[in-house]
Amino acid sequence: MSKTSLVVLAVATFAVAWMVPAAAQAQFSRDAKWVPDQANSLILVNADRVFQSGLATQEKWSPEQSFQRGMTIVPPGVGKAMFASHFDYVMMEPVWTTGVFEVADANARLTQAAERWESTVEDFMGRKSASLRGDLFGVVLDSGVIGVMAPGNRQSAARWVGDADAGRARVSPYLADAIKFADQNAEAILAFDLANAFSVGEARSALLQQEGLTGPEIEALSAAAGRLKGLTLGITVRDKAYGAIKIDFQDGTTGLDKLKKRVILELLSSNGMMVDDFNDWEVAVQGSSVTFSGWLTATGLRTVGMLVNQPVRLQFSGGKPQQGSAELDTVQITREFVDTLELYFRDLEQFIVERRSSAPRAYSLWFDKYANKIDSMSITGVDPAVVEFAAGMSREFRNVALILTRSQGKIDTRTISDVDYSGSYGYDYGYGYRSGNVSRNAAARKLAKTEESAAAAAAAKEVMQDLRNQFGDLRRDIESRFGG
């Protein structure tokens, strides 16, 4: 993934921080000591507040169901959560991540997690600890605080805890400002520290690969990318959900006028991370910052939530499953499982039937992410026939993702000979690419896009219609065996 896709990915990946309204004083500054040195991204969430919002009451959200359906990244029973990571902005993956969870009884919760994953609780620096499934290391940081590090390197965890105990943990100025902002104005914040993350040349090279950008836009945006300071996201929920992403730059406004809504949507679509709600968001330039904001529907919230990859959260989602009819109601669990599957299906069906972007790749990533979510759902107590159906459903979602991705590839192949990189800006021999005006045979590309998009949409609709029919058969089978 290109470096200039960072803003796109950050918008989509962490918009799930929507889950808390900006009302009470969360006092995240008290948790700042647990932010490890070298952290360059931070998520702060006060989960207790979300279920007090008007929207949560209206939609009858529960912590357990919301977590299962991807509406929140915080496990049930966790009051506040903080995720700190060192992100590799080249690979767009975290090198390491720590999670800090506020719970009623940290010792009991860690023991519960250890039992769930058949691990052993051991002493660690005078605290209880356990190695958990997924290469994670959990430790009781305080009486009501659990910490998790991924990867679960015991020595790295010892340095993390030791630095905090000695008061040596250091937070970058940008992340420190985000913590202060969370304490004063919001209870859900995501912040990326992007200082010195990108060069002008690297940004230009990546932007040249983006469709729909003019030469002047590429030059201006490349220069702006070299001055990136950071990105902060906050989404509040009252009677509706509202999201705002603020992209901060070093002093100066040069190039920011080019970061228009059309450009942002083009970057989202071309990187396969389009959320239809973004079509209705607005862009505003304020000093050295650009804000992209608007309302989020329930589908939009679930969709962007699928991009959140925080494995440290999963280990505290519940205790060890209990067996026996008294603890497990197969009928109820199966019905809820199927309801969740159908919820996911309707989200993706809407993308195909009512798509607002003509780029085939615009929605491909979501099908992969939803498939992964289905594969990670707990199947304890679920009827075997439904489990088999879910496996087939995730395979079909990946099939649609492949259809859409290949379609985009066909468009690129058909029109690659029509791309002309010559222009008034000349060459940048130091980086080995052209930085001039990009011109294309617009008519040829439009024809290719129209034909290939139509073919991909037809193939995707066929897969989704077949799944729709299978859902009908599954529902009838469940009713016949389990009754109404």
Q: Does the global pTM surpass 0.85? A: no
User: In whole angstroms, what is the distance from residue 70 CA to residue 107 CA?
Assistant: 27
Contacts of 16 (CB under 8 A, 6+ apart): 72, 73, 301, 304, 305, 307, 308
What pLDDT, on a 0 to 100 scale, did the predictor assign at position 461?
92
User: In whole angstroms, what is the distance from residue 474 CA to residue 472 CA?
Assistant: 5
What pLDDT, on a 0 to 100 scale, did the predictor assign at position 365?
83
Q: Cβ(279)–Cβ(261) under 8 Å?
A: no
DSSP 211-263: TT--HHHHHHHHHHHTTEEEEEEEEEESSSEEEEEEEEESS--TTGGG--HHH
What pLDDT, on a 0 to 100 scale, did the predictor assign at position 421?
42
At 127, is the secondary structure helix, strand, or coil? strand
What percent of the chain is helix, strand and coil (3-state, nearest 5)?
Answer: 50, 20, 30
Peptide bond into 321 cis (omega under 30): no
Q: What is the DSSP letter of 328?
A: -
Q: What is the DSSP letter of 414?
A: H
Walking along the chain (484 residues) 10 residues at a time, the average pLDDT comes out as: 37 31 53 90 78 75 66 68 87 85 87 84 94 86 90 92 88 89 72 89 83 83 89 81 86 81 81 80 91 86 63 46 51 87 89 72 83 84 93 95 84 58 38 40 70 86 94 91 74
First and final C-alpha spacing in the chain: 48
What pLDDT, on a 0 to 100 scale, did the predictor assign at position 455?
87
Sheet holding 241-249, edge to edge: 122-124, 127-132, 136-142, 145-150, 93-102, 80-88, 41-46, 188-193, 228-237, 241-249, 289-296, 282-286
User: In whole angstroms, what is the distance from residue 254 CA to residue 341 CA?
Assistant: 47
